[in-house]
Structure 1
Amino acid sequence: MMKSMQSILDKVAISISFLCIIHCLLLPVLLLMFPVLLALPLEGESFHQLLVILILPTSLIALIAGCRKHNRNTVMVWGMSGLLIVFFAALFGHDTVGELGEKILTLLGSLMIAWGHYRNFHLCRSSECH
């Protein structure tokens, strides 16, 4: 995989993770401030599932390709753990741990994904990446 593609995928995955964090933290405030946003499909499980569908292939490709280059398995552990948490929260969280638990899991998983990609990006750009 081209080095620039690796960087792009890591940046996209970080952006999606932060979009998820912003969605969880700010959406209630934004809906109060701008009720017109209620017309958009931003609330509900389908939006979370869409983000999971976007982040899964992006993260898997970027993390696997990066770890093949720099051989730092901790990057994969952070990213994959975050993916599993976000996946669980999006599909089962609301029913099993409630709305607050789902948000906490989503925030935790998104931060873990973002950290994994941040490390992946920097390791692949540094001299440690072969």
Structure 2
Amino acid sequence: MKIKNNTIDIIALSSSLICAVHCAAIPLILSFSSLSSLHFLGNKYIEGTFISFGLFFILISLWPSYIKTHQNVKPLVYAIFGFLFVVLGRLNLSELFEVINTVIGASLIAFAHYTNWKLLKSKKCYKH
């Protein structure tokens, strides 16, 4: 059974937003001493998983939609800039620098999937 493109974009958009919330909230949560046991949420493997999912969703959603359907480069450009911000955040220049860049990047990636979803919807390209 094939997964519909709109479902993939909704899942990808949701995971990107969860990533943005995760990256914005974890430093605040960890700063409270009574919640320091939640330090595992700032784990590099969890962050790597979010980044891997983002790349995976681009490969199975944005790229095929661009090639086969709408030929609009906007979602890919948003995703590329989003990942550039995420990579900038990984430079670890400061915690605030990391949080700001990662949240902007994850938000841009979510917006890329939203834009892709809207383009597909406007062309009524979904498989039923």
Q: TM bucket by the smaller chain? A: 0.7 to 0.9
Conserved 8 A contact 1:6-1:65: no
SS of structure 2 residue aligned to 1:42: helix
Identity among equivalent positions (%) equals 27
User: Structure 1: any 5+ residue segments left out of the alignment?
Assistant: none
Give the distance between the partners of 2:72 and 2:85, measured in 1 at CA: 21
Separation in 2, partners of 1:67, 1:11: 17
Structure 2 stretches of 5 or more lacking a match? Answer: none
1:53 maps to 52
1:63 positional shift: 0.7
Give how far 1:34 is off: 6.8
2:13 corresponds to 1:14: yes
1:93 is aligned to 91
Q: Which residue of 2 aligns with 1:116?
A: 112
Query: Is the contact between residue 85 and residue 105 of structure 1 (CA under 8 Å) also seen in structure 2?
Result: yes
The 1:28/1:81 distance shift into structure 2, 3 A limit, reads closer
> Partner amino acid for 1:93?
L
- TM-score, normalised on structure 1? 0.78
State the Cα distance separating 1:108 from its structure 2 match. Answer: 1.0
Deviations 1:96-129 (A, max 9, x none): x221111111011111101111010011111375
* Match of residue 107 from structure 1: 103
CA drift at 1:55: 1.4
Question: What's 2:71 paired with?
Answer: 71
Could you list the per-position Cα deviations for residues 52-99 of structure 1 after superposition, in whole angstroms to 9, with x for gaps in the alignment? 11211112221101112111112211112212322x146x322xx221
Paired positions, count: 123
Inter-partner Cα distance in structure 2 for 1:44 and 1:57: 20
- State the AA in 1 paired with 2:83: L
How does 1:9-48 map onto structure 2 within 5 Å?
A: 9-31=8-30, 32=32, 35=35, 38-39=37-38, 41-48=40-47
